[in-house]
A = this chain, B = another copy of it.
Amino acid sequence: MDKPRKAFASAKQVAELAGVSRSAVSRTFTPGASVSEETRKRVISASDKLGYHVNHLARGLLRQSSGIVCLVAADSDAPYTSRLIRTLVHSLQQAGKVAMVLESSGPSESADHALRQTLNYRADATVVLSGTPPQSLIRTCLDNGQRLILINRADQFSGPHNISLDSRGAGRTAFRTLQDAGCRRFALVSSEAGTPSLMARERAFVECAEEQGTEVAVTRNGRTSYEAGVLGARRLFSAGDPPDGVFCITDLIACGFMDAARHEFGLAIPEQLSVIGFDDIEQAGWASYRLTTFSPDVVALAARVVELATKAGETEENHRDLIEVPLVMRDTVRQS
């Protein structure tokens, strides 16, 4: 190690080694700039020798665009969320951007601190996947001209792009499907998270039932998790008048619900009990579940996000996308 100080080579050093000006080096690595083939060769040769890599911090400083897109999520290890994140990370890379991931769970003070990173690093855009970031921060993002993309949040903000899955349609379709399968006593298993998209699905399901003159037993337990489904099943099947058609607001909940229904209460699915989920997580396709569920097109969603995050010009205020979510029929709803 003969250079303990300057670990990274700078464009200046490359220029000296190649015998050209620093501008030439910069232009070599700027697509569309005017450089002769001769000097380009020499610059690339020199930069390879020195292991030169353009410093994106300095480039971002000058261009007012860091190339960073922030993804903020809570519970980013949940199956659906992690799939979405992975797809986004991949798509962003393809588009020449890079993803910075922030966890917004935990004490709100620390989440607040974390979210400020998106401003500190001058992210080109911020994508809010879940969780409830303080409104004040969202306001701050908007005031600073931060491009903000909210997924599945029906909040009313003037400015950010909104992309939502059609929760309303899904809730109604879920009810009709269960009804068509011959179910009579309906239930809804949810969590206490109170996310806009969860609430919308709940409301749509219940409304649709009321239109048909039917009641729905609703149970909400803790976080949106496997355990929430287990607890939901215990509540519904311990009391009298157990349901035979259940909409679980999430696949994770559905898995817990089905496991408890089968192993604790000995119920047969779909013979005695029909179940529908939402998300189409990987486990929904596993042989132990074969869950009939709504399957959002995550790739299309990610593509749309990247498009919004990348497109520089148009700041169409208060843009809204609504994506329809098809129902995938597997084996947890009785065939009529």
A residues whose Cβ falls under 8 Å from a Cβ of B? 7-9, 51, 53-58, 60-61, 64, 66, 68, 75-77, 79, 82-83, 85-87, 89-90, 93-94, 98-103, 105-106, 110, 113-114, 116-117, 119-122, 140, 143-146, 226, 230, 255-256, 259-260, 262-264, 282-283, 286-289
Contacts and interface: CB of A to CB of B under 8 A. Distances in A.
Contact of A259 (B100, B226, B263, B287): B287
Given A79-B79, A82-B77, A54 B287 contact: no
A103 B89 contact: yes
A105 B25 CA distance: 31
A89 B70 CA distance: 13
B98 A86 contact: no
B60 A89 contact: no
Contacts of A61: 55, 57-58, 61
A57 B145 contact: no
Contact of A110 (B93, B98, B121): B93
24 contacts: A7-B144, A8-B119, A8-B145, A51-B143, A53-B144, A54-B120, A61-B61, A68-B100, A76-B86, A77-B79, A77-B82, A77-B86, A82-B82, A82-B85, A89-B103, A98-B114, A98-B117, A99-B100, A99-B101, A100-B101, A230-B287, A259-B287, A288-B288, A288-B289
Nearest to A62: B57
A98 B121 contact: yes
B90 A83 contact: no
Contact of A83 (B68, B77, B106, B289): B77
A93 B66 contact: no
A226 B287 CA distance: 10
Given A93-B114, A288-B259, A100 B103 contact: no
A78 to B, nearest CB: 8
Contacts of A77: 79, 82-83, 85-87
A121 B54 CA distance: 9
- Nearest 5 CB-CB pairings of A with B: A7-B145, A82-B82, A259-B287, A77-B86, A53-B119
Contacts of A87: 77
Given A76-B85, A110-B94, A255 B53 contact: no
A256 B282 CA distance: 12
A210 to B, nearest CB: 33
Contact of A144 (B51, B103, B282, B283): B51
A101 B103 contact: no
Q: Which of A61, A77, A288 has the most C-beta atoms of chain B within 10 angstroms of its own C-beta? A: A77
A213 to B, nearest CB: 36
B263 A121 contact: no
Contacts of A68: 100
B255 A286 contact: yes
Contact of A57 (B57, B82, B85, B93): B57
